[in-house]
Structure 1
Amino acid sequence: MTSKIGIASNHLIHPTERFGTNFVDYIQRDYVTGLRQADVLPFVLPLGDPKDAKAYIESVDGLLLSGGQGVTPILYGEEPLAEVAETDIYRDQFEIALVKAAQEAGKPVLGICRGMQVINVALGGNLYQDIYKQAGATEKHNQYPTSWEIPTHHVTTTSGSWLNQILGERFAVNSFHHQGIHQPGKDLTVVAQSDDHVVEGIESANGKIIGVEFHPEMMRAVHPEFQKIFDYFAELVK
C-alpha cells in the first residue's frame, strides 16, 4: 500500500488581486512533486483547529511542514523584536499540535525552513527571532531576488547524520529566512550548520523527526541530488 503524507497547508492572510478574500488554503506545488517523485501519496491538510490535529495525523503515515511566515515569538516565551516580519499564530498553533500528535503516534515528520523551526518550538526549543541581530550571522540567508533553485551558500553536516549519509559532508544550498534555531528542542540534535553557525539541519534521537533550513523542493528539479531528502523521508514513512 502506498504511504500517505500529510502536508500542512499555508493560507492567504491578505486579500490579493486574484483572491479577493483570505479564505484560501494552499501548498506550493514543489512539495507535492518531491513527495510524488519519492513514490508516496501527498494529502494537503487544510489549516484547522489544534484539537483536530490528532485526527488528521491518524489519517496519514507521515507529516511534512513547509516554509512560510515566521513563528510567533510568544509561543516560545519571548516578546517580538522589531525585526520580526509577518507571523500567523493560527498556523503556528495548528502545526505545533500536528507535530506533537505525530510524535505521540510515532509517525515521521519532515520540516522545511519554517517547518523545521515549528518542530523545534513544538518540542520545547526556541528561535533566534533575527539571526543577524541575535546570532551574529554574517552570510546572506535570504537570497531574493536570486532565482529560488540556485544554491547560494554552503553547509557542513555532522558525520554519520542523516544529511551526511545522503548528501555528504559539505554542499551548497539556497536560503530564504531570517529566523533560526537557537536552543534545540527535546531530543533534537543539530546535524548541519552554515559557515556562520546558523542551524541548517536537525534530527531527533529516534531518527523519525528531521528538518532542514533550506528548500530542497525548489532545487530538486535542477539539482536532482536534493530529491534524496524526499526519498529518505519516504523510506522513514514506509
Structure 2
Amino acid sequence: MTQPAKPLIGVTTYLDRARWGVWDMPAVLLPAQYPRYVRDGGGLAVMLPPDEPSEAAAVLARLDGLVVAGGADVEPARYGAVPDPRTGPPARERDAWELALIGAALASGTPLLGVCRGMQLLNVALGGTLTQHLDGHVEAPGVMGRHPVKPVPGTLYASLVPEQAEVPAYHHQAVDRLGAGLAPSAHAEDGTVEAVELAEPAWVLGVQWHPEMGEDPRLVRGLVEAAAAVRRR
C-alpha cells in the first residue's frame, strides 16, 4: 500500500552575507536545526527565501504548513513605533515577505508556527505592537539560554505541552499589545507573553522561544498533524 505523502512545510530563511570555501557573498541561510525539527515532526521541509510579497499566496498554495523562523528584530515602523537605540538593524526584505506569507496563511487556513521573530511578526501582522527591549531573556551574546514557561489552561499550546517546561530562548523583544484575535497561551515567570495563538478552527501558534534548539517535538508534531488534516479535506 502506498504511504500518504508527508506534509510539505515551508520554513522562512535569513538573508545575510556569508562565507564558505572561497566565496563571500549574500546568501539565504537557515540553521540546520529547523529542517531537522520539521523532520522530527513527520514533515518535509522546504526553504522559503525572501521573494516578492505578491507571490506569497501562490507559494502557500503549494504548501501544507508554514514555519516563520527567528532572526532580526522587526522594523518598528511596521507597528508605528520609533526605533529604540537597542533595536537591531531592520531586515526589510524579510519583514515584507514574511508578513505577506503570514497574511496568506491566515487567509487560506494554512497551519502556521511562528518562532521568536515569527511570533512577533504574527502579532504585528494582526495589528499588535512589540516591546523593543527587555532584560533577562538573553543569557549572553550568541548563547542560547533556558527558562521555564507556563501554559495557559484550555489553549492549543496547553493541549500540546500541558506542563510547565524549560525552553531554549534567545530574545530581547516581546509582545506588548496583542494583535486582533490573538490570545496568550504561555507566560514566563516574569509575566512576559511567551506564546500566542488564534482561536479554533485555525491552527496558528507563535512561541517566543526556539523549540528547534531543544529536544521536544510536540509543537512541530502538532503543526504537521494539522497540516496533514488540512491536506485531507
**TM-score, with normalisation over the residues of structure 2?**
0.89
C-alpha distance in 1, partners of 2:222/2:170? 23
Q: 1:183: how far off? A: 1.0
C-alpha distance in 1, partners of 2:44/2:195? 25
Q: 1:11: how far off? A: 1.1
C-alpha distance in 2, partners of 1:142/1:4? 32
Unmatched runs of 5 consecutive residues or more in structure 2: 229-233
Amino acid at match of 1:214: W
Give the aligned partner of residue 62 of structure 1. 65
Matched, 1:20 2:24: yes
List per-residue Cα deviations over 1:167-215 (Å, max 9, x = no partner). Answer: 2231211221111111111111101111111111111112411011111
Give the aligned partner of residue 222 of structure 2. 232
Give the aligned partner of residue 31 of structure 1. 34
Maintained 8 Å contact 1:125/1:186: yes
**DSSP 3-state at the match of 2:217:** helix
C-alpha distance in 1, partners of 2:143/2:88? 22
Q: How many residues align?
A: 222
Maintained 8 Å contact 2:186/2:194: yes
C-alpha distance in 2, partners of 1:152/1:61? 31
Amino acid at match of 2:211: P
Unmatched runs of 5 consecutive residues or more in structure 1: 133-139, 221-225
Taking a change above 3 Å as real, the CA distance of residues 79 and 146 of structure 1, as seen in their structure-2 partners, is closer
**DSSP 3-state at the match of 1:164:** helix
> Quick check: which one's strand share is greater?
2
C-alpha distance in 2, partners of 1:82/1:147? 22
Matched, 1:166 2:153: no
C-alpha distance in 2, partners of 1:147/1:26? 19
List per-residue Cα deviations over 1:48-69 (Å, max 9, x = no partner). Answer: 1111111111111111011110
Which one of 44, 48, 52 corresponds to residue 45 of structure 1? Answer: 48
**TM-score, with normalisation over the residues of structure 1?**
0.88
Which one of 190, 205, 211 corresponds to residue 206 of structure 2? Answer: 211
Taking a change above 3 Å as real, the CA distance of residues 147 and 85 of structure 1, as seen in their structure-2 partners, is closer
Amino acid at match of 1:124: G
